[in-house]
Structure 1
Amino acid sequence: MTTPGNDVDSDTDLLTAVRAGDTAAYGTLYERHHAAARSFAFGLARDPADADDLVAETFAKLFASLRAGRGPLVAFRAYLHTTMRHVCYQRARSDRRLEFTDDLSRYDAGEPYTDPALERLERSFAAAAFRQLPARWRDVLWQTEVEGSTPAELAPQMGLTPNAVAVLAHRAREGLRSLYLQQHVTAAEHPECRWAGDRLGPQVRGRLAARDTHRMRTHLGRCAECRGRLDEIREIDGFRHSPYRQRDHAGTAG
């Protein structure tokens, strides 16, 4: 039963109604979350037109998923934001692949171009991943990757040997890469897909716990959607091998 003023229950009822074919229910969800979605979009695309396009594409994508029986069962806004980040990333990557045959500058290497929208999105992913690390890992990463300190310099203040500091820094970097990849994973509806999705980063980085290996292999063997998500994360891992580059994110991760 829907409780007045309870947005979670109300959203849940509306999501159920949309799945049953009630398009007006999706209109209610749109009206309820549009302002928050547009505000979130401006953090990803500073141009108003691009932000509006991002909002429209995200809502359309979610509507299609719900009508097909997929998408969120609860927590619509969180799912909306996750989907929007994913859409923004995909659009930025697609834009980088565009070629204009009437532009002769394509034959000139010129200066390397960095897409600002993609860079903002990547920084937000890296910062979110950094915040999820244990405090000790965050500290050693900050000292080595941002401040440029060596393991020998850090050893006395951390109470470790230089070799132990180097090992700790390596583990922290791998942990960051796994969490960074996780930021690109869109939330899934089915419980087993959610379980697999929560572990795709470690799976790609070869750091999946031994107890989870068989379960992951079995699930991927029968779930085409999760195999597609895994392939996408692998592509991202190859595209951006080092999410936390020295000094690039100093103002974001802190």
Structure 2
Amino acid sequence: MTDAELVVRTRAGDPDAFGTLVARHYDACWRFAYHMLGERADAEDVVQDSFLRAYLAIGRYDERDQFRGWLFRILTNQCRNFLTSRGRRTKRFVQDEIAIESAAAPPAAHASGMEDAAVVRALAQLDPLQREALLLKYAEELEYSEMSAMTGAGESALKMRVKRGSERLRALLADAKDRGV
């Protein structure tokens, strides 16, 4: 059954249909949120909140959009809101490498190509907008047009974020390799 068919069934009151959508998209949402936020518990909270918001707003979903893109727009906004809120709560950065590494270590059940410890630490050091663009482009394999629809940023701005984020990521990884981390 396609996502569009499951949305129609959800709107008709079939609770199992939305459960299928959650099961289908949960891992990708969790990976994205985890890499954006760096904490398992925070990622879980944001993903659950995003699915709840999607369920409550399913009546406003436009069938011309892909469900995954619509869901990721919600998720991206929730991650941004969380990061803004976290920034207000704590105006400091963790400098302790051990603390960063333990916070960034992903659970085995949520493995993806981005789980190398050095990559996770380097991603955590990127500007959030660059990290978001890199994750959408490479981890989620989205086209710039899809990314633009999700984030509200122009395609050229997203290309620049990916370019600068990639350059910064390479530099951070080279530095980590030089330090033997």
2:5 to 10, 13, 17: 13
Deviations 1:137-193 (A, max 9, x none): xxxxxxxxxxxxxxxxxxxxxxxxxxxxxxxxxxxxxxxxxxx987633xxxxxxxx
2:56 to 61, 64, 74: 64
2:80 to 78, 89, 93: 89
Asked which structure has the greater RCO (Cα within 8 Å, sep 6+), the reply is: 2
> How far is the alpha carbon of 1:48 from its aligned partner?
1.2
Q: Which has the larger radius of gyration?
A: 1
Question: Does residue 122 of the first structure (1) align with residue 129 of the second (2)?
Answer: yes
Counterpart in the other structure of 2:168: 251
- Which residue identity lines up with residue 76 of structure 1 in the other structure? F
TM-score by length of structure 1 reads 0.40
* Aligned CA-pair RMSD: 3.9
* CA pair 16-181 structure 1, distance change in 2 beyond 3 A: closer
SS at match of 1:113: coil
* CA pair 54-72 structure 1, distance change in 2 beyond 3 A: farther
Superposed, 1:152-231 pairs within 5 Å as 184-185=151-152
What is the alpha-carbon distance in structure 2 between the residues aligned to residue 81 and residue 71 of structure 1? 13
Deviations 1:15-68 (A, max 9, x none): 1111222222101111222222222222212221111112101111101101xx
Contact 1:93 1:118 in 2 (8 A): no
- Which residue identity lines up with residue 67 of structure 2 in the other structure? F
Counterpart in the other structure of 2:101: none
What is the alpha-carbon distance in structure 2 between the residues aligned to residue 248 and residue 58 of structure 1? 25
> How far is the alpha carbon of 1:120 from its aligned partner?
4.8
Structure with a larger share of its residues in helix = 2
Counterpart in the other structure of 1:170: none
TM-score by length of structure 2 reads 0.54
Contact 2:50 2:74 in 1 (8 A): yes
Counterpart in the other structure of 1:44: 36
Contact 1:89 1:118 in 2 (8 A): no
SS at match of 1:44: helix
Superposed, 1:131-146 pairs within 5 Å as none
* CA pair 50-76 structure 1, distance change in 2 beyond 3 A: same
> How far is the alpha carbon of 1:89 from its aligned partner?
0.2
Contact 1:123 1:252 in 2 (8 A): no
What is the alpha-carbon distance in structure 2 between the residues aligned to residue 248 and residue 77 of structure 1? 24
Counterpart in the other structure of 2:25: 33
SS at match of 1:33: helix
